[in-house]
Amino acid sequence: MRLSKLFRVADSEKKVIECLACPRRCRIPEGSHGFCGVRWNFGGRLYLAVYGLAIAVAIDPIEKKPLYHYNPGSAVLSIATTGCTWACKYCQNWDISQRRMVAGWRLDPELVVKLAEAYGAHGVTYTYNEPVVFIDYAYDIGILARKRGLFNTMVTNGYMSDETLDLVKQFVNAATVDIKGNGDDEFLQKFSAVPRGHFEYVLQAMVEMKRSGIFVEVTDLVVPRYGDDLEKCRKLMRWIVENLGPETPVHFLRFHPDYKMIDVPPTPVETLEKHARVAKEEGIHYVYIGNVPGHELENTYCPNCGELVIRRFGFEILEWRLDEQFRCPKCGYRINIGGKLYPTYRSDRFAYVPLELYTEFVHIPESKLRELAERSQH
């Protein structure tokens, strides 16, 4: 539990506050929480109830995020809390993101960074649920991690306020912006509970992150029947080329039935390939297909001559053919890579972190939250 700075008083008499973390700007009555379920109003002040409570922690390859072009071959400590700014009916992490409860392993920022160091991680990634809901916690971890020589990345839906963006720019090095259904307004409203017209905030956030020096990769979850329109894909790809640049990596992700959409089949590979062709036609240099292990579009090809320069299978790099300046061995074109290649790319970068050895798991009932909020002020 920690007091958040991201709020303003909306009604001092009734102690109603407005949360500033995301563009919903929830007006939260005293004793209640916002849409995410983890940002609470007690006494006319906003508290992040899951501060210091990680619901999931693991060591992952950075390619799992997916970040193919930032510090390839590195390992990251992935961390999440409960809660989310969206309510995707197809969410594969719904048991984490859609829990409107305060629970997790007690992990203060210092312990998070120590675990990252102890398990050989090169960076910390805020992922599995939406990092915007726990931005106060992520910020404190991130600033400490940077001081200790670790990089920071996030997997985000990009739905963040200017106030949150100001924090993100202070500690995040790279971000995967996870778009769904080509960013179509109707799709997002129906299947993710995103207010109509609010995808514009995601676009603005991507531009601002890119402008501030954050390395950006984009994913697009292609959902059969509902979010697989090629013309909408073309519109999004054109926007990316014009606003983020053709060197921005784009990943088309295969949908798998889950949560409230188990009746929808997996995305046909042919549909993903059609999306990839559209992206290339619009000028995207690095186009990938995700969640299809062994597909040729897991690999990186030189956009100048077409030479295969990085061969992958799943999250693993099988072959690296670039020089130290990331140049194509055939034509010398410099591939857009941020950071460096880590020698651990040939090793297994998954690791289980036995948190029970370091801390305890707690589930805090709503009846106890006010008491914790009052205690956190002292």
120-158 pLDDT, tens digit per residue, is 999 999 999 999 999 999 999 999 999 999 999 999 999
| 372 occurs within a structural domain | no
Cα 198 to the center of its chain, rounded Å: 18
Give CA–CA dist 95/109, Å, rounded.
Answer: 24
- Determine which helix (DSSP H) or strand (DSSP E) holds 332, and give its type and residue range: none
- Examine the domain organization and report whether 102 and 185 are in the same domain: yes
Residue 71 lies in a domain: yes
State pLDDT tens for residues 211-253: 999 999 999 999 999 999 999 999 999 999 999 999 999 999 9
Q: Tens digits of per-residue pLDDT, 277-336? A: 999 999 999 999 999 999 999 999 999 999 999 999 999 999 999 999 999 999 999 999
Residue 96 domain flag: yes
* Three-state DSSP class for residue 161: coil
Look at residue 213 and tell me if it is in a domain: yes
Indicate whether 3 and 107 sit together in one domain: no
Q: How many domains does the chain have?
A: 2
Q: Is the pLDDT reported for residue 378 higher than 60?
A: no
CB burial string 164-183: b at 16+ within 10 A, e below: bbebbeebbbbbbbbbbbbb
Reported as a single tens digit per residue, the pLDDT across 81-94 is 999 999 999 999 99
The residue segments making up the domain with residue 9 are: 1-49
What is the DSSP-derived secondary structure letter of residue 257?
Answer: -
Residue 239 lies in a domain: yes
Looking at residue 346, its pLDDT comes to 79
Predicted confidence (pLDDT) per residue in 45-74, tens digit: 999 999 999 999 999 999 999 999 999 999
Q: In Å, how far are 153, 174, 201, 239 from 242, measured between CA atoms?
A: 24, 20, 17, 5
| The three-state (H, E, C) secondary structure of 349-360, written as one string | CCECCCHHHCCC
How does 325-350 read in b/e, with b if 16+ C-beta sit within 10 Å? ebbbeeeebebbbbbebbeebeeebe
Same domain, 174 and 271: yes
Q: What gap in Å lies between CA 149 and CA 127, rounded to an integer?
A: 20
CA 359 to chain centre: 26
Whether residue 148 lies inside any domain: the answer is yes
Question: What confidence category does residue 119 fall into, taking pLDDT thresholds of 50, 70 and 90?
Answer: very high
The CATH number given to whatever domain includes residue 209 is 3.20.20.70
User: Is the Cα dihedral 190, 131, 216, 329 positive or negative?
Assistant: negative
- Note whether 60 and 36 are same-domain residues: no
Residue 189, CA distances (Å) to 100, 131, 203 in order: 20, 21, 16
In a domain, 327, yes or no: yes
In a domain, 370, yes or no: no
Bridge pairing between strands 250-254 and 215-222:
parallel
149 with 2, same domain: the answer is no
Per-residue DSSP letters for 53-101?
A: EESEEEEEEGGGTT-SSBSTT-EEEEEE-S--SS--TT-TTHHHHT--S
Q: Which 3 state secondary structure label does DSSP give 227? A: strand
Bond before 66 cis per omega within 30 degrees: yes
172 and 210 share a domain? yes
Cα 30 to Cα 43: distance, rounded to the nearest angstrom: 6
Does residue 215 sit in the same domain as residue 171? yes
Q: 290 is written with which tokens?
A: 């995700």
Residue 129 to residues 87, 133, 205, 236: CA-CA distances in angstroms?
Answer: 11, 9, 18, 24
Which position has the token pair 């500033």?
A: 20
Predicted confidence (pLDDT) per residue in 177-200, tens digit: 999 999 999 999 999 999 999 999
Angle between the N-to-C axes of helices 230-243 and 269-281, in degrees from 0 to 180, rounded to the nearest 10: 40
Task: Tell me the average pLDDT across 197-205.
Answer: 98
Same domain for 122 and 229?
yes
Which pLDDT value is given to residue 347?
83
Considering the domain architecture, whether residues 41 and 105 belong to the same structural domain is answered as no
- In this predicted model, what pLDDT tens digit does every residue of 14-51 receive, in sequence order? 999 999 999 999 999 999 999 999 999 999 999 999 99
